[in-house]
Amino acid sequence: MANYIPSVGMEVHAELLTHSKMFCRCPVAFGGEPNTRVCPVCMGLPGTLPVPNRSAIEMALRTSLALNCKIAYESVFHRKNYFYPDLPKGYQVSQYGETNPLGYHGWVEIPSGDGYQRVSIRRVHLEEDTGKLMHLPSGGSGVDYNRAGVPLMEIVTGFPPDISTPDESKEYLYQLRLILLYLEVCDGKLEHGSMRCEPNISVRPDDQSELGTKTELKNLNSFRSVQLGVQFEVRRQVAVLEGGGRVAQETRGWNDTSETSFLMRTKETEQDYRYFACPDLIPMHFTEEYIEGLRAELPELPLAKLRRYRDDYLLGEKDARRLVEDRHWAEFFEEGIKLGGDPKLVCNWMISDFARLLNETGQVISERAKDDDAHDVSKVTPAHIVDLVNLVSKGTISGKTAKDIFDEMFKSGDFASSLVEKKGATQISDSDQILAWVREALAKNPDVVGKYKSGQTNVIGFLVGQVMKSSQGRANAPMVQDLVKKELE
Amino acid sequence: MLRAKQVSAREVAQAHLDRIRHEDEKYGCFLTVDEPRTLAEADHAQELLDRGEAGPLTGIPIAIKDNISTKGLRTTCASRILENYVPPFDATVMQQISSQGLVTLGKTNLDEFAMGTSCENSAFKPSRNPWDTSRSPGGSSGGSAAAVAAELAPLSLGSDTGGSIRMPASLCGIVGYKPTYGRVSRYGLVAFGSSLDQIGPFARNVEDCALLAEAISGHDHRDSTSLQDAKIKVGGLKSGRLNGLKFALPKEMFEGALEPGVRQIMEETVATLTREGVQFTEISIPEIGLGVTTYYIIAPAEASSNLARFDGVRYGPREESQGHIGVVAATRGRLFGHEVKARIMIGTYALSAGYYDAFYLKAQKVRAKMAAKFEQAFQDFDAVLTPASPVVAFKLGELSDDPLQLKLLDFCTIPANMGGFPGISLNAGFSDGLPVGVQLLAPVMGDEKLLQMAYSVERALPDAIRRPNMP
């Protein structure tokens, strides 16, 4: 069997988080009764005209800048003409051309193996979403135009594709989504379809330079389905070629249950969309000053953050990644650093106990992290964590106590220092007191002492535990350790 | 009379409604008349008059071309596919005229989707010329033009994509004006050729026309192509003088295609205006010869896209067929008229991959060049004077088998749409008892001066406001 090299181009549609639609003032939201967020403009009634949404344009420009794209200082909207029942006007307002889209010829970095890999971006352009076809309970079909006219940003990777594995496909989508979340331009909900990914997949034998025939995959609504879908298509195509067949150019759907792709339609000929500049919209002009202003205001992006955490705070790659994979976590962490917390310790407390408790209770980390689902916001603030971390590093409380305190702090929202004061839970570092507990523990457990003397040194942990128990967890653990050892010698 | 309370707005409206009811059978101007609605509007206008809040046109009836959206009032574009379409919103111009107390009489006939020059392409009925009812009133705004000429309405609105206001104004002997593109909002005008379409007024004299232009113009945030200083202010309408004005005569518009009768009236007009002190200079703009060809690429291309929404999903009785494309094809095939289908096909072809550069792109280049040539002329001259139509009103059916000839009738009016500049047509005289219009063209945003010049020209031309003999 020949070796095959897959090539994956990614086409991502992201619904923008604007208040209103692309060309009218209807609100943008998810769900709701059909046809309740519509007006003559987004229904495409005869005589209506589009008025572009400035904030959508700005979001697409910011995304373009974040993806290292060139900016089209002069850019026009085109009409893409085709018939489909969910398309109210018989054309979609979109952007065509190599250098006309708001952003073009950029790149994004994704983790790959032990390092990073660049994925080139061909274009970032704006268009309007279509309506949704629905099957009516009474039979027949209806169209819900709530989604029609929602601002849609299309991000397409460069050609020839840089992505060649299912993992890279998933990682690209993951990093892209993270950037969009950092920019606050899309909610990134693959399961709601507010971010939609359509990979183009082809394979070629490794001794062949030109790319194979590609298929396009639709209905991928999770990272897992993207990964599995690409993997499935690659295997399917290889099997077709190995069987002496040829891959047909077609659009295939992904079935999440059977984890297989199925034929939706063949694309024997390229459809002619008869693009032309939309005469209802005047060309956009951007000044360099405006664009540079947007660039200056871009937030620090996930990979830059990750590198900074790694290099400046000396966090491990995995820990740093855990923090930056959620913008709100990163913000929380940095707030903690600003308050004087030790980066390593703040990070540890966040990704261990705090993460566990949030997960158990379904709470979220900050007010800003709230979304449509009604989660409570945790009472723990960065100041709480820093307070706790400081108590531990000053030796005021033991690590064991700190864990209990964290649980209480999480429940009550009281600061660790005030909880410690209330309970008198400060750490005991009085060596006479500790020594007394140590001797007691040794006296009560002669068999364990015997084991130790016969070489089973690991039983020391049990003895230390007994001392901690006697002190109700308040004894200075390293001191206990030392004294137990000394007494046993 | 309205302001002096000699008549009430309701009486004026009722008189027009009665006249429409009794006379319109002869002319076929109206597609929809809603008498109770008209009378209610008249009562509202009367309130404005009584409260002293009346504007210059409050209480004046007006007819509206049936491709302008009227909330709650059927808007058909003279097409079967919109036969029962009732818009849930008003075009911006409708909001403007109703806020100023004009009273809508009804919706007037047109060539289907404004595609035509004879008003014979209406899916419902042809309109007829009040000067000779065996003849066409011109098109596409034929119903609006004929209604004003037949005194069924003192004012009307039309739309002009390649001459659809100015040409029927010429054939009906009235004033028709296409403002600068972007001075009157297109919001609510059912699009034909979006980059060319412009709403404009018909009236029996320049002053009424100017007042209506003032009423409907202005910036509209709902139309992205609307200009910032769009309001047409006509305060200085009567303060112009002909003496010393410089008019250009593009020789391409006086060659070949002109009917002898039209040529003669043009010559007389030039002579009359020369006596009034206007200096005429012949100029040449060769691109005029390419105007019709260029227009018949750009307008159908845009139309093919604009009319794609009529796919059987939302409008018109759907034809059942195999698959979505089958439904689209069957519905459109049955409900669109021949001319509309022809233009959609031409436009689709012109935009298709492999033909786009050769047709659409090239046409846009010619368009830009033609516009630049006219712009140049406007730097040297106050106005360009041309015939508004190369022919007088033709017999109904006379040209319906000759679509090419019909299309060539637009060659005098097309440049203004290509360049976005304003043009006005007014009656210059008669040829065998049929009106002949003269067209004045002025630079983009030169509407105020254009109307002022037209007013002066009207004063100088004895036949400018003559009416047909009618009952």
Q: Would you list the domain boundaries of chain B? A: 9-237
Tokens of B97: 């005229």
Is residue A259 included in any domain, yes or no? no
The enclosing domain of A448 has a CATH number of: 1.10.10.410
Q: Which of the two residues, A152 and A362, has the higher pLDDT score?
A: A152
| Contacts for A97 with CB less than 8 Å, ≥ 6 apart | A78
- Which CATH homologous superfamily contains domain B9-237? Amidase signature (AS) domain (3.90.1300.10)
Please say if the pLDDT value at position A268 is more than 80: no
Residue A104 CA from chain centroid, whole number? 23
Q: Determine the Cα–Cα distance for residues B130 and B137; give it in Å rounded to an integer.
A: 8
Residues of A with CB under 8 A from a CB of B: 40, 43-52, 79, 81, 83-85, 88-91, 143, 272, 274-276, 279-282
User: Residue A438 half-sphere exposure, CB side, CA atoms within 13 Å?
Assistant: 23
The residue in chain A having the minimum alpha-carbon distance to the alpha carbon of residue B87 is A45
Give residues with Cβ within 8 angstroms of A116, minimum separation 6: A109, A110, A303
DSSP state of A26: P
Residue A34 buriedness (CB in 10 A; 0-12 / 13-18 / 19+): middle
Residue B59 has pLDDT above 70, yes or no: yes
Residue B5, pLDDT above cutoff 70:
yes
Query: What does the pLDDT look like over B324-355, one tens digit per residue?
Result: 888 899 999 999 999 999 999 999 999 998 88
Chain centroid to Cα A288, Å, comes to 31
pLDDT-derived band of residue A422, with 50, 70 and 90 as boundaries? confident
User: Alpha-carbon distance B289 to B257, whole Å?
Assistant: 11
Which of B239, B246, B175 is CA-nearest to residue B212? B175
For residue A95, report the phi and psi dihedrals to the nearest 5 degrees. Answer: -135, 135
What is the Cα–Cα distance from B153 to B61, expressed in whole angstroms?
A: 6
Which of the 8 DSSP states describes residue A69?
-
Query: A461 and A366, same structural domain?
Result: no
Of B68, B88, B223, the CB nearest to A49: B223
The pLDDT of residue A392: 87
Q: Which of B85, B225, B309 sits opposite A282 (nearest CB)?
A: B225
Taking the C-alpha atoms of residue B141 and residue B167, their distance in angstroms, rounded to an integer, is: 9
DSSP class of residue A426?
Answer: P
Please give the Cα distance from B161 to B195 (Å, whole number): 9
DSSP annotation of B389 reads: -
- Residue B325 φ then ψ, to 5°: -60, -35
In a domain, A227, yes or no: no
State which of A367, A397, A423 marks the end of a domain. Answer: A423
Mutation for testing the B interface, residue in A23, A45, A282 having most B CBs under 10 Å: A45
Give A434-489 pLDDT, tens digit per residue.
888 888 888 898 888 888 888 888 888 888 888 888 887 778 888 888 888 888 87
The answer to whether the peptide bond before residue B387 is cis (omega within 30 degrees of 0) is: no
Same-domain pairing of A328 and A186 = no
Residues A126 and A15 in one domain: yes
Residue found by looking up tokens 């630049």 in the block: B372
Number of domains in chain A: 3
The torsion angles phi and psi of A323, rounded to 5 degrees, stand at -75, -45
Task: Tell me, yes or no, whether A47 and A156 share the same domain.
Answer: yes
HSE-CB for B156 with a 13 A CA cutoff:
38
Do both A352 and A440 map to the same domain?
Answer: no
Locate A39 and state its tokens.
């007006």
B297: exposed, middle or buried (Cβ count in 10 Å: 0-12, 13-18, 19+)? buried
Task: Give the C-alpha separation, B109 to B141, whole Å.
Answer: 7
Task: Please report the pLDDT score of residue A32 as a whole number.
Answer: 86
Distance CA A59, CA A37 (A): 22
Q: Tell me, yes or no, whether A280 lies in a domain.
A: yes
Number of helices and strands (H, E) in chain B? 14, 11
- The three-state secondary structure class of B75 is coil
What residue spans of A135-270 are helical by DSSP H? 166-183, 223-242
CB atoms under 10 Å from CB of B108, counted, come to: 35
pLDDT of residue A201: 97
- CA-CA distances (angstroms) from residue B81 to B75, B123, B324, B408? 11, 10, 17, 28
Residue with tokens 């051309």: A97
* Contact flag B89-A45 (C-beta cutoff 8 Å): yes
Residue count (chain B) = 471
- DSSP for B180-220, please give it: PTTSB--TTBPPSSTTT-EEEEEESSHHHHHHHHHHHBS--
| Residue A476 belongs to a domain | yes
Q: Are B200 and B421 in contact (CB under 8 A)?
A: no
How would DSSP label each residue in B222-284?
Answer: T-TT--TT-----TTGGG--STT-EEEEEGGGSSTTS-HHHHHHHHHHHHHHHHTT-EEEEE-
Assess if residue A225 is contained within a domain.
Answer: no
Q: Which two tokens stand for residue A470?
A: 């006697």
A335 and A272 within one domain: no
* Six token digits for residue A159: 């050609």
Whether residue B471 is predicted with pLDDT greater than 60 in this model: the reply is no
B140 is an active site residue? yes
Do residues A234 and A6 touch, judged by C-beta distance below 8 A?
yes
Kindly list the residues from chain A whose CB atom is less than 8 angstroms away from the CB atom of residue B313.
85, 143
Question: pLDDT-based confidence at A420, cuts 50/70/90?
Answer: confident
Return the DSSP state at A20: B
User: Quick one: which of B3, B60, B7, B13 has its CA closest to B39?
Assistant: B13
- Whether residues A384 and A440 share a domain: the answer is no
The C-alpha atoms of residue A122 and residue A128 are separated, in whole angstroms, by 19
Single out the residue of B117, B153, B123 nearest to residue B31, CA to CA: B123
A442 and A322, same structural domain? no
Domain range for residue A102? 9-201+267-290
Catalytic residue among B141, B164, B170, B425: B164
Q: How far apart are CA B338 and CA B342, in angstroms?
A: 6
Could you give the percent of chain B with pLDDT greater than 70? Answer: 100
CB-CB contact of B158 with B144 (8 Å): yes
| CA-based nearest distance A159→chain B, Å | 21
Express each pLDDT in B389-440 by its tens digit.
999 999 999 887 887 888 888 999 999 999 999 999 999 999 999 999 999 9
Tell me the CB-side half-sphere exposure of residue A437, using CA atoms within 13 A: 26
Mean predicted confidence (pLDDT) in A344-367: 91
A180 and A313 part of one domain: no
Q: Among partner residues A51, A85, A280, which is closest to B194 by beta-carbon distance?
A: A280
In a domain, A375, yes or no: yes
Whether residues A77 and A111 share a domain: the answer is yes
- Can you give the length of chain A in residues? 489
Please compute Rg for chain A using Cα positions: 30
Cβ–Cβ < 8 Å for B340, B403 = no
Establish if A246 belongs to a structural domain: no
Cβ-proximal residues to A91 (8 Å cutoff; 6+ apart), any chain: A79, A80, A81, A82, B305, B308
A401 and A473 within one domain: no
pLDDT recorded at residue A271: 82
User: What is the predicted pLDDT for the residue at A374?
Assistant: 64
Both A351 and A397 in one domain: the answer is yes
Lowest mean pLDDT among A123-127, A445-449, B65-69: A445-449
DSSP A283-329: PEE--HHHHHHHHHTPPPPHHHHHHHHHHHS---HHHHHHHHTSHHH
CB atoms near residue A304 (< 10 Å): 12
CA distance A60 to chain B (A): 20
Of the ranges A103-107, B3-7, B57-61, which one carries the lowest mean pLDDT score? B3-7
Q: Do A46 and B87 touch (CB under 8 A)?
A: yes
Let me know: does A147 contact A132? Beta carbons within 8 Å: yes
pLDDT tens, residue by residue, B238-292: 999 999 999 999 999 998 779 999 999 999 999 999 999 999 999 999 999 999 9
Is B352 among the catalytic positions? no
Q: A145 contacts in B (CB within 8 Å)?
A: none
Residue that is written with structure tokens 């507010």 in the block: A194
Measured between CA atoms, how close is B261 to chain A, in angstroms? Answer: 39
Are the C-beta atoms of residues A25 and A259 closer than 8 Å to each other? no
